Amino acid sequence: MTVDRILPTDEAHDLLELATELADRELAPKVTEYEQRAEFPREVLRTLGRAGLLGLPYAEEHGGAAQPYEVYLQVLEILASRWLAVAEAVSVHTLSCYPVAAFGTDEQRKLLPDMIGGELLGAYCLSEPQGGSDAAALTTKAVRAGDEYVVTGTKAWITHAQVADFYNIFCRTGGPGPRGISCLLADRTTAGIAPQVAERTMGLRSSPVAQLVFDDARVPADRLVGGEGNGFTIAMSALDSGRLGIAACAVGLAQAALDYAVDYARQRQQFGRSIIDFQGLGFILADLATQISAARALTLAAARLRDAGRPYSIEAAKAKLFATDMAMRVTTDAVQVLGGAGYVADHPVERYMREAKVLQIVEGTNQIQRLVISRSLAKG
């Protein structure tokens, strides 16, 4: 189905047309095969980077396209409607470029053209085996030794752990709590960094997720991003943007599920007519369409606050919460619309349902989003 969009410029229209063309040509024909093989589509990400779609919200001086976040999110939505693992990879990579782009030194920012252009793929290393939602309690440690930091510890649930070219490592350089956390930028080739065996995930099987072990990994001190003690601020600032990326992915996935369910319901005949004409089923689809439109509007409203330079953290939490819960409902109901056919891998809705679940978990679980929102209400 065609989504009626209001875009700020003609250039934005062209970008969405490009994203649609690439999604139809490079993503849609490959998704089933790659998901079955659990193979990461590195060349697809490189193609998107060379087309300029990995650096949309970043400055032109660094190789980006200087596009409003609302435009970037709608590109992400289109990609997610064809292949969620690729859209999530774009979101994670964009998140991984953020620390250097926003807080890096001039020397560090020289890396941005290759990062934004997709020649270097990034990973964002915040979560740990015993500290997911409680990021301020992380224990990965970095000790200054001359002109290097020696890093020890383990990170968990790291997207791109095995395939990334650079890692943003959030580690403890000081005392307990958020003020003791710093951010280091490490190359994949750094001795002492060991990606572990990929997790066997319910969905997003072509997206490699694994632990990263740091065994006296030596990172040059000039790779400290934003100064010692500023890592938690960097991490939370990046996550506000990342939550909008996941919300956009949820909208795209839900749209794909709805489109497939509607097409199936138009063609499927029972009792002498298309099942979409039965009110009990037609009303379900009407509710799904409404929920998707609401989630898209909420996500873009938060993005426009960000573009205007206004506080948007709470609105990003609302968008992530609503859009990902919505995607879970929509994909579940899409399976129900197909009945028994929805439960087999011949139809993509079973994959959509498996994939939707992770969106309620990544970039802060939806319970954390509710905590963020409720605390803001308590403060008044």
Residues 6+ apart with CB under 8 A from 205: 35, 36, 38, 85
The pTM for the full model equals 0.96
Phi, psi of 370 (to 5 degrees): -65, -35
Which residue type does 32 have?
T
Mutual orientation of helices 84-103 and 69-82 as an angle, nearest 10°?
150
In a domain, 5, yes or no: no
The reply to whether 110 and 130 lie within a common domain is no
- Tell me, what's the pLDDT at 134? 84
Task: Give residue-wise pLDDT tens across range 132-153.
Answer: 788 889 999 999 999 999 999 9
The domain that contains 155 carries what CATH number? 2.40.110.10
Among 293, 303, 253, 292, residue whose Cα is nearest residue 94: 303
On whether the CB atoms of residues 120 and 114 are closer than 8 A, the answer is yes
What is the chain's Cα-based Rg? 21
272 φψ region: left (φ > 0), alpha (ψ -120 to 50), beta (else):
left
CATH code at 276? Answer: 1.20.140.10
Q: What is the SS3 assignment for 320?
A: helix
Report if residue 4 sits inside a domain: no
- Residue 47: inside a domain: yes
- Residue 76 CA to residue 19 CA, distance in Å, equals 9
The tally of domains found in the chain comes to 3
> What confidence tens digit (pLDDT) does each residue in 101-128 have?
999 999 999 999 999 998 999 999 999 9
Q: Which of 95, 117, 139 delimits the end of a domain?
A: 117
Instruction: Quick: pLDDT tens for 149-179.
Output: 999 999 999 999 999 999 999 999 999 999 9
Dist. CA 28–CA 260, nearest whole Å? 14
For this structure, is 21 an active site residue?
Answer: no
Q: What is the average pLDDT across 211-227?
A: 97
Instruction: List Cβ neighbours of 181 (8 Å cut-off, separation of 6 or more).
Output: 136, 138, 170, 171, 172, 173, 174, 229, 231, 232, 235
Spatial distance between the Cα atoms of 188 and 168, rounded to a whole number of angstroms: 11
Residues 223 and 242 placed together within one structural domain of the fold? no
Which CATH number belongs to the domain containing residue 83 in this structure? 1.10.540.10
Of the residues 26, 88, 355, 363, only one is catalytic, namely 363
Q: Within this chain, do residues 126 and 148 fall inside the same structural domain, yes or no?
A: yes
Q: What's the pLDDT score for residue 10?
A: 96
